[in-house]
Amino acid sequence: MGEVEFAEIGSGEYCVTIELPDGRTSTVVIGDGVRHRLFEFIGSRPRRCAIVTQASIGVAVDPVVEHRVFHIADGESNKSMTTIEALCEAFADWGLTRSDVVVGLGGGLTTDVAGFAASVYHRGVDVVHVPTTLLAQIDAAVGGKTGVNLPQGKNLVGSYWQPAAVLCDTETLRTLPEREWRCGLGELAKYHWLGGGRLDELPLAERVARCVEIKARVVAADERESGQRALLNYGHTLGHAIEIAGSHDLRHGEAVAVGLVFAAELAASLGRIDSAAVVEHRRVVSGYGLPTNLPSGLDPDELIRFMSRDKKVLDGGLTFVLDGPDGLEVVAGVDPALVRRTLEVVT
């Protein structure tokens, strides 16, 4: 099992160090303005730095060494193998080598794509992330999971590739559009059931740091999601299905929020938790101003079909992370009929 060190390294600045069992280390620094220290974390070896970002991000970094910016298009449809191929071809045209470094600058889509491209280009190039959204800082950019989507489901193609460092600059969060902020709050709400408690009462940098610490401890214990790490997907089984099904206006974190309430209702139907626990789920989710019900017009059969393709699925049955007397657990073989009835409860 790996180890995690959490430290306040300055006024409102925090550092979480993840030491994995095989000796690899990933450092996460959280605080205002930390993106301006990028050069300290890319190491002395790289000749060049490939900065993967989106034109809409509006945040810049200077790695000091020779660098080039590679733009990827906005939108979930561009989180694809086509984008990875185009990015790797652009790396090759520039002459990027295994001695260089890739920097992912942007939200979760960008860090997922940059991390995956770094993991497969030349069979692995170092990557450093500078996440600029709440969702990316507390979840997507931390822990080394990368991936892109297929038409059949989210994140079905990917790899585990630990970033050398992650610089969570909370300064970039202060200008986030309200909708993008809400997207991150869905992931923040999830941490309530992973030991985070009343995170909304903490200053912003500490709030981000505590989420990173929780995720880091899970990752250090189970990097490749063979057990405990699956718990980080609480609310995501339905959340991902919502994202890829039908036409609606929900973003990732909002879909996860509905998934949290659905998971609570499903756990109650299985006798794992009581009605008070369901009420608590609804209180926490609605307290962040997030939706607690499915958008109209979604087909239950389609949602169930997408949930059956989730990465957590065991032995071909429906599998969910559910609350229970011992906390969150992975529960396999859930009856589709019960799932359908529970979907009606959150409609």
Q: What CATH number does residue 338 fall under?
A: 1.20.1090.10
Rounded to whole angstroms, the Cα distance separating 6 from 140 reads 19
Q: Is residue 227 part of a domain?
A: no
**Per-residue pLDDT reduced to its tens digit, 18-35:** 999 888 999 999 999 999
Q: What are phi and psi of 214, to 5 degrees?
A: -60, -50
User: pLDDT-based confidence at 226, cuts 50/70/90?
Assistant: confident
Residues 12 and 80 in one domain: yes
- Going by pLDDT thresholds of 50, 70 and 90, the confidence category of residue 313 is low
Assigned domain for 228 exists: no
Asked whether residue 178 falls in the same domain as residue 288, the answer is no
Whether pLDDT at 61 is above 80: yes
Return the DSSP state at 294. P
Instruction: Say if CB 45 and CB 164 are below 8 A apart.
Output: no
Q: How many CB atoms lie within 10 A of CB 151?
A: 8
Which residue reads 């059949």 in tokens? 152
- Residue 179 in domain: yes
**Torsional sign, CA 150, 156, 162, 165:** positive
12 shares its domain with 81: yes
Overall average pLDDT of the 213-242 stretch: 92
Non-local (6+) Cβ contacts of 251 within 8 A are 179, 180, 182, 183
Q: Are 239 and 41 in contact (CB under 8 A)?
A: no
pLDDT in tens, 242-274: 988 877 889 999 999 999 999 999 999 999 999
Indicate whether 336 pLDDT > 80.
Answer: yes
- 229 falls within a domain: no
Q: Residue 324 in contact with residue 272, Cβ under 8 Å?
A: yes
pLDDT band at 312 (very low <50, low <70, confident <90, very high): low
Q: Are residues 240 and 217 in the same domain?
A: no
Q: 187 and 270 in one domain?
A: no
Sheet strands (E) in the chain = 3-10, 13-19, 25-31, 48-53, 66-71, 101-106, 126-131, 145-150, 153-160, 165-169, 318-322, 329-334
134-185: pLDDT as tens digits: 999 999 999 999 999 998 888 899 999 999 999 999 999 998 999 999 999 9
Q: Average pLDDT, stretch 295-316?
A: 82
C-alpha angle 39-44-48 in degrees, rounded to nearest 5 = 75
Q: What's the CATH number where 127 sits?
A: 3.40.50.1970
Same domain, 208 and 255: no
Q: What is the mean pLDDT of residues 122-131?
A: 97
- Which residue, 221, 243, 258, sits at the end of a domain? 221
Distance CA 119, CA 146 (A): 9
181 belongs to a structural domain: yes
Please indicate, yes or no, whether residues 76 and 144 belong to a single structural domain of this protein.
yes
The mean pLDDT of 268-283, rounded to a whole number, is: 98
212 and 241 share one domain: no
Alpha-carbon span 342 to 259, nearest angstrom? 11
pLDDT at 197 over 90: no
Instruction: For residue 261, tell me if it sits in a domain.
Output: yes
pLDDT band at 219 (very low <50, low <70, confident <90, very high): very high
178 plus 82 within the same structural domain: yes
The domain boundary, picked from 188, 221, 254, lies at: 221
Same domain, 174 and 216: yes
Number of structural domains found in the chain:
2
Round to whole Å and give the CA distance between 317 and 308. 7
pLDDT at 227: 81
Compute the average pLDDT of residues 29-57.
92
Q: How confident is the model at residue 72 (pLDDT cuts 50, 70, 90)?
A: very high
Q: Which helix (H) or strand (E) holds 34?
A: none
Q: Which of 221, 252, 279 marks a domain boundary? A: 221
Mean pLDDT of 204-227: 92
Q: Do 109 and 214 sit in the same domain of this protein?
A: yes
For residue 47, the enclosing domain spans: 3-221
Residue 226 lies in a domain: no
Instruction: Write phi, then psi, for 113 (nearest 5 degrees).
Output: -70, -45
Same domain (yes/no): 212, 239: no
The predicted pLDDT at position 309 comes to 82
Q: Which residues participate in catalysis according to the annotation?
A: 123, 145, 187, 215, 225, 229, 233, 236, 240, 252
**pLDDT above 90 as % of the chain:** 82
Q: Tell me whether residue 127 is in a domain.
A: yes
